Amino acid sequence: MRLTVPEVVLNLPRTMHATTDTAADKPESKRKIRVVVAKPGLDGHDRGAKIIARALRDAGMEVIYTGLHQTPEQIAETVIQEDAHAVGLSILSGAHMTLVPRVVDLLKEKQAEDVVVIAGGTIPAEDITELKKIGVAEIFTPGASTQEIVDFVRGAVRPA
């Protein structure tokens, strides 16, 4: 059965670490892919973000779920502190053209341009092109399968 974002409800804690291992505990070649999943802005719908967090975790990645109502500054700081390889931003509020570029800019300011930025949610096609121009690696809209997202992250991230 192929799962899509709206088909499952999860009960995850506010901060979810998929493993107890830290990056420092593992040799570089054995490090798991570390992904921060965040809900920027005032959007209060996190079902899809929790589904993605669970799918990434089940695929063997270490996932740090930040919870709701995060500022771009909080998200960028979490990415740096957690030494993440990727950050997934889930936005349903329509504020993607403000919040996503701010996160990208903050990561650049912190010399973290190598972090893969992905976004998902209700993002119009005309905005997807603009977001990719500023450095977003991929945008997943409603109906994207969890396997498609897992495969993209695995292909885009090199945890070395």
The pLDDT > 90 percentage for the chain reads: 77
pLDDT for the residue numbered 81: 98
Task: From 97, 94, 135, select the one nearest 117 (Cα to Cα).
Answer: 135
Global pTM reads 0.81
Q: Whats the size of the chain, residue-wise?
A: 160
So where are the chain's domains?
Answer: 5-155
pLDDT for the residue numbered 29: 46
Specify the amino acid at residue 45.
Answer: H
pLDDT surpassing 90 at residue 160: no
What architecture is domain 5-155?
3-Layer(aba) Sandwich (3.40)
Look at strands 34-38 and 62-65 and give their pairing. parallel
Q: Predicted confidence band at 43 (pLDDT cuts at 50, 70, 90)? A: confident
